[in-house]
Amino acid sequence: MEIIECQPKNLEDIEKVKKLALKDADAYDEEDEEPDYSSFECFLVYKIDGDIVGTVGFRQPRGDVVKNLELGENVAEIKNMHILPSHQRNGYATKLISELEEKAREHGYERMVLRTTSVQEYAHRFYESNGYDKLGQIDPSYKSIDYDLVFFGKDL
């Protein structure tokens, strides 16, 4: 088991983890665009026996987060926090988020924010148990999805 910082080179494996995790949570959106991985300042993968089982990264906030939150200075946006369904609830997400927060501190960030969906209640509990506060919830009427977007944040 190892957590490594990398430039996302094998996008197929990374997108597979994302797609399986979101489908398992009934939160997969076919219209959701693949993120611009080149915009990430840090991207971590959790590997077990050479296979990627989890991913997470951070970047400068953009999109829904910027439109719906008053952010202030030195804020990073968490993106692509996904664990394969077969590896969930084993502590891997907690290890990933802890490592990501440390990397964000090293980059000079003082706060982390993120967006998830209203149907991913287990994700809400995960973020809250890791010190994140719910910042708000919106109905994204501009998207063709059947759930709200929920925002969380944490001071580092």
Q: Looking at residues 53-63, what average pLDDT do you find?
A: 88
Residue 59 near residue 84 (C-beta atoms within 8 A): no
pLDDT of the residue at 145: 55
Buried b (16+ CB within 10 A) or exposed e, 110-135: ebbbbbbbbbbeebbebbeeeebeeb
Residue with the larger pLDDT of the pair 75 and 10: 75
Tell me the pLDDT tens digit for each residue of 84-138: 888 888 999 999 999 999 999 999 999 999 988 877 788 889 999 999 999 988 7
Q: Look up the domain containing 74 and give its range.
A: 2-155
User: Which domain CATH number covers 51?
Assistant: 3.40.630.30
Q: How many domains does the chain have?
A: 1
List phi, psi (to 5°) of 111: -150, 145
